[in-house]
């Protein structure tokens, strides 16, 4: 579809699964991951309050900078990476086409 | 081991639904003991969103989650429930006479006539840092994921790790309790409450605490008891620091935990119940609130309150199969108490 973009989830080094998501529904990456059956809790429903949707961005287009609420939450995690983000704070837009992410370890 | 606690209903989970179940049980003159893995009551409301307003509690056009918990605690005061906080119910056994014996992580034993699981998303467990031999020093051997009793740290050498509010708050508090406090933070700035961050900075400047930024605790050392940690800077430089206690404070995350292993019928990480009285597949065990599932389930506080009321009727019948209870309104009975 015209409004669809692709994001890739890296399951293991070199092993990526392609997900197709719409850009005209205001969905977040967290919602797409959940809808695709990935094991993320997203306890707070996308309010940047729980960090159970933590992902690591490995490659792809430059994303908008995280807002304060997201940075605050990332700060509380024991392990973060250079590309750590909360997937609920990443909107699916034409600008996120081609994003490659890895799910962070559960609980982190 | 301490003497077992004896009660009518043991409620697992002190979230809003577990707390309201105490009230409903109290109206039926059933005594309750409440256990929660968290050190404070309130479940998700206290742990995830204490300052967020809630708009869908009947009679409250708007109420802060933390205030709702305070009100629930006040509402149950007349029934004198007892609490075991900061301990997770781990093991659970049904005895021949139909009663139950529960055991917590810290060995507390509870004997009860019925069990109400109000475990929400499961018990909140600490997020653990990626340090190899962490488990070796858990369970009173030097690693603490919560500060339950600050006195435990009096005159001790402690290292706190983390950059959120609880790491900052406890650093400030324990600076006056412990003999030596070091705060290790991965980053260079603190994003917690500005005044807590400022206090930490001032304590550091006054030489009352040590602040190690851009660093992580990477190794624990000791023989049975924790003796030293290695703190490694983002530049790769490492230093060994002697200590008595290591307190990693990286927040909590919910895990279904042991409830999934008690032989109850489970569907999608939730306990299946009969909506007649929210009984589970095991007679005498009930499940209410976010932890249960049935056709049409809504994970809302309001729905959990309703489930608590019906559950208590079911528990009453289980405990006293020959007694008849006639519903009286609280407005008729007057102010309820035990
Ligand atoms: C950000 C956010 C906003 C929300 N807003 C609303 C709203 O506006 N209105 C609304 O109605 N709902 C809202 N909810 C949902 C609401 O919070 C839940 O429905 C409610 O908390 C469920 O209550 P509970 O008592 O069943 O479980 P919880 O609040 O999850 O409490 C369960 C407790 O059980 C404990 N526990 C679990 N297992 C064990 C064990 N084995 N041993 C000891 N303790 C154990 C846990 O530590 C926890 O404290 C919101 C949720 C979130 C995350
Ligand atoms: S879903 Fe809770 S922070 Fe993203």
Q: Is some CB atom of chain B closer than 8 A to the CB atom of A43?
A: yes
Return the exposure string of B51-61: e unless at least 16 CB atoms fall within 10 Å of the residue's CB, then b: eeebeebeeee
Q: Which residues of B touch A (CB under 8 A)?
A: 44, 48-49, 52, 121, 125, 127-130, 161-165, 186-187, 190-192, 248, 250-251, 253-255
Structure tokens at B141: 């051997």
A93: buried, middle or exposed (CB in 10 Å: 19+, 13-18, 0-12)?
A: middle
B121 CA from centroid of ligand 1 (Å):
6
CA distance A92 to chain B (A): 26
Structure tokens at A4: 């669809």
Is B36 known as a binding-site position? yes
pLDDT of A107 higher than 50: no
Q: Using CB atoms, pick whichever of B130, B186, B254 lies closest to residue A43.
A: B254
Q: What is the pLDDT of residues A66-100, one digit of tens each?
A: 998 899 899 889 888 899 999 999 999 999 999 99
Question: Rounded to the nearest 10 degrees, what angle do helices B301-319 and B16-27 cross at?
Answer: 40
Q: Of B45, A57, B162, nearest to A89 (Cα)?
A: A57
Q: Chain B contact for A59, CB < 8 A?
A: no
Q: Does the C-beta of B129 come closer than 6 Å to ligand 1?
A: no
Please, which residues have CB within 8 angstroms of residue B299's CB and are 6 or more apart in sequence? B290
Contact B254 A68 (CB under 8 A): no
Closest approach of A11 to chain B, Cα-based (Å) = 20
Please answer yes or no on whether A107 and B128 come within 8 Å at the CB atom. Answer: yes
Q: What is the DSSP string of A21-65?
A: EESSS--BHHHHHHHTT-----TTSSSSSS-TTEEEEEESSPPPP
For an interface test with A, give the residue of B122, B128, B191, B216 to mutate (most A CBs within 10 A). Answer: B191
**Closest CA relative to residue B162, chosen from B172, B152, B153:** B172
Q: A64 and A37 in contact (C-beta within 8 Å)? A: no
Alpha carbon separation from B242 to A108, B65, B143 (Å, rounded):
27, 41, 14
CB contact under 8 A, A77 and B251: yes
ipTM of the complex model: 0.77
Q: Nearest CA to CA, how far is B191 from chain A (Å)?
A: 6
Tens place of pLDDT per residue across chain B (338 aa): 578 999 999 999 999 999 999 999 999 999 999 999 998 999 999 998 998 999 999 999 999 999 999 999 999 999 999 999 999 999 999 999 999 999 999 999 999 999 999 999 988 888 999 898 999 999 889 999 988 889 999 999 999 999 988 899 999 999 999 999 999 999 888 877 789 999 999 999 999 999 999 999 999 999 989 999 999 999 999 999 999 999 999 988 888 889 999 999 999 889 999 999 999 999 999 999 999 999 999 999 999 999 999 999 999 999 999 887 776 677 666 667 77
- For residue B150, give how far its alpha carbon lies from the nearest alpha carbon of chain A (Å): 21
Residue B176 bridge partners (DSSP): none
First to last CA, chain B: 29
In chain B, which residues have their Cβ closer than 8 Å to the Cβ of A43? 44, 48, 121, 253-254
Ligand nearest to the CA of A74: 2
Residue B329 marked as a ligand binder: no
> Which ranges in chain B belong to alpha helices (H)?
16-27, 44-47, 65-76, 165-174, 194-205, 301-319, 330-333
In Å, how far from its chain's centre is CA B38? 2
**Which ligand lies nearest to the CA atom of residue B300 in the structure?**
1
Burial tier of B303 (Cβ tally within 10 Å: 0-12, 13-18, 19+): middle
**B124 known member of a binding site:** yes
Nearest listed ligand to the Cα of residue B14: 1
| Cβ(A88) – ligand 2 distance below 6 Å | yes
Kindly report the backbone phi and psi dihedral angles of residue B43, in degrees, each rounded to the nearest multiple of 5, phi listed first. 55, -135
Look up the pTM and report it.
Answer: 0.86
């Amino acid at each position: 579809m015209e409004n669809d973009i692709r994001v890739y989830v890296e399951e293991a080094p070199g092993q990526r699964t392609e997900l197709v998501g719409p850009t005209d529904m205001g969905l977040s990456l967290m919602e797409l991951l959940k809808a695709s059956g990935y094991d993320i809790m997203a306890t707070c429903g996308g309010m940047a309050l729980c960090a159970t949707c933590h992902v690591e961005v490995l490659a792809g287009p430059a994303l908008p900078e995280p807002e304060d609420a997201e940075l605050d939450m990332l700060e509380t995690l024991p392990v973060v990476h250079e590309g750590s983000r909360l997937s609920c704070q990443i909107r699916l837009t034409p600008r996120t086409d081609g994003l490659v992410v890895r799910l962070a370890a559960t609980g982190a | 081991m301490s003497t077992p606690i004896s009660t009518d209903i043991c409620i697992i989970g002190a979230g809003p639904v577990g707390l309201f179940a105490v009230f409903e049980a109290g109206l039926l003159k059933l005594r309750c003991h409440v256990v929660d893995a968290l050190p404070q009551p309130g479940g998700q409301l206290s742990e995830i969103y204490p300052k967020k307003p809630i708009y869908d509690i009947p009679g409250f056009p708007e109420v802060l989650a933390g205030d709702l918990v305070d009100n629930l605690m006040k509402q149950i005061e007349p029934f004198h429930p007892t609490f075991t906080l900061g301990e997770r119910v781990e093991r659970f056994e049904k005895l021949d006479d139909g009663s139950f014996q529960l055991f917590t992580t810290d060995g507390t034993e509870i004997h009860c006539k019925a069990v109400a699981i109000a475990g929400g998303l499961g018990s909140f467990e600490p997020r653990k840092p990626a340090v190899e031999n962490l488990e070796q020093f858990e369970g009173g051997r030097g690693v603490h994921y919560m500060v339950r009793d600050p006195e435990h740290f009096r005159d001790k050498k402690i290292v706190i790790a983390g950059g959120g509010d609880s790491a900052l708050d406890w650093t400030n508090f324990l600076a006056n309790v412990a003999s030596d406090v070091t705060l290790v933070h991965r980053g260079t700035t603190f994003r917690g409450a500005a005044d807590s961050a400022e206090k930490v900075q001032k304590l550091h400047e006054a030489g009352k605490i040590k602040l190690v930024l851009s660093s992580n605790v990477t190794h624990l050392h000791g023989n049975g008891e924790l003796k030293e940690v290695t703190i490694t800077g983002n530049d790769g430089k490492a230093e060994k620091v002697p200590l008595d206690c290591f307190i990693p404070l990286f927040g909590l995350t919910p895990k279904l935990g042991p409830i999934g292993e008690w032989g109850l019928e489970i569907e999608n990480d939730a306990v299946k119940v009969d909506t007649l009285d929210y009984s589970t597949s095991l007679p005498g065990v009930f499940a209410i609130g976010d932890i249960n599932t049935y056709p049409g389930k809504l994970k809302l506080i309001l729905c959990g309150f309703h489930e608590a009321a019906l559950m208590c009727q079911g528990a009453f019948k289980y405990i006293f199969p020959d007694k008849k209870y006639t519903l009286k309104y609280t407005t008729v009975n007057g102010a309820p108490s035990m």
